[in-house]
Amino acid sequence: MTTTFDFTDQRILVTGATSGIGREIAVQLIASGAQVFAIGRDANALAQLGCETLCLDIANSAVLDLALKDLPAMHGLVNCAGISRLEPAAAISSAAFDQVMNVNARAAAQVASRVAAAMIAAQIAGSIVNVSSQASLVALDDHLGYCASKAALDAITRVQCAEWGRFGIRVNSVNPTVTLTPMAQQAWSDPAKRDPALAAIPLGRFAQPHEVALPVLFLLSAAASMISGVSLPIDGGYTSR
**Active-site residue list:** 146
Q: What share of residues in the chain are helix, strand, coil (percent, to 5)?
A: 50, 15, 35
The region that residue 235 occupies, defined by phi over 0 for left and psi between -120 and 50 for alpha, beta otherwise, is alpha
Strands (E), 84-144: 127-131
In angstroms, the CA 219 to CA 230 distance is: 10
| 54 CB-side CA count, 13 A | 21
Instruction: Tell me which H or E stretch contains 215.
Output: helix 209-220
